[in-house]
Structure 1
Amino acid sequence: MKSETYLFAGVAVFFLLTDVAYIWFAREPAGIAALTVSCFMASVIAFFCLVNHRRKGERPEDRPTGEIHERSGRVDFFPPHSGHPVITAAAVTICALGIIYGFWLFMIGIGVLAVGLIGMVLAYVGRQDG
């Protein structure tokens, strides 16, 4: 994670320098806000990578002598087919249409969205790892 930390810290510094130059030459609020937010987002990612590197230590990918077999084993649980993402996408579409056509349609979309999100969150609550 050390190389990722350096990468995103460099991106944050780039956006910071660009933001300073933009403030100096353009003085346009929308661009200043966009560059400032971009700098903060890159800083957050760099901070996350730094904390993970300090907490978990070096990965085999970080060492020049790292071997492939050092990262072998179970990666994670990947769920099989599920209809909940489709329900959630349809609900977001209904909510977007509700913004255009009326509050009643937006509220229907919120109800469908709740069903989709609760289904995704609670789909594997009772699952046992092992």
Structure 2
Amino acid sequence: MKAETWVFGATTAFFVLVTPIYWIATAYGGYLDGKGDWTGFTALAMTTLLCLMITVYLGFHARKMDARPEDSRDAEIADGAGELGFFPPYSWWPLWCSVCLGVMVFAVAMHAWWLFIIGAGFGVVALSGFVFEYYRGEHAH
């Protein structure tokens, strides 16, 4: 994870440099009447802090973990062989969850609470199927 730490560290350094430049450019750049752009500055400041948080997190875990093959300069492709993890097969449940959410959002926008209740009812069924799809059927384990 050392490579990821360096990537996010460079991104953090970039945003540390860009954020004050953006503030100065908007405050004294001849527009916005010298007030600056608080929305853009806040977004860049929060992005900087988010990148810093990820950098610190990855840095702490990189020191505690054993070196991975991709962290070594003299590693071979075969060093990374083996099981990589569990990758779920196809599933229709995310589609039905998103359809139910879309119906519920549409119902709120149209003030049709009866439609929201119908969407929530089907949404409970769809979400339950999505959560418990590996407990029964073909892909149970």
Cα distance in structure 2, aligned partners of 1:96 and 1:120: 20
TM-score (normalizing by structure 1): 0.80
TM-score (normalizing by structure 2): 0.75
- Deviations along 1:15-54, whole A, 9 cap, x unmatched? 1221122223322111012111211222233233223312
1:11 counterpart = 2:11: yes
The letter for the 1-side match of 2:2 is K
C-alpha displacement of 1:103: 5.1
Cα distance in structure 2, aligned partners of 1:61 and 1:46: 18
> Superposition RMSD on alpha carbons, in Å?
2.3
Pair member with larger Rg: 2
Cα distance in structure 1, aligned partners of 2:132 and 2:61: 27
Matched position secondary structure for 1:64? coil
Structure 1 unaligned residues grouped into runs of 5+ = none
1:23 counterpart = 2:23: yes
Structure 2 unaligned residues grouped into runs of 5+ = 27-35
Aligned ranges 1:100-119 → 2 under 5 Å = 100-102=109-111, 104=113, 105-119=115-129
Instruction: Mark the CA change 1:119 to 1:40 in structure 2 (over 3 Å): closer, same or farther.
Output: farther
Aligned ranges 1:1-130 → 2 under 5 Å = 1-26=1-26, 27-102=36-111, 104=113, 105-125=115-135, 128=141
What is the match of residue 29 of structure 2?
Answer: none
Instruction: Mark the CA change 1:10 to 1:73 in structure 2 (over 3 Å): closer, same or farther.
Output: same
* Seq. identity, %: 30
Give the aligned length: 128
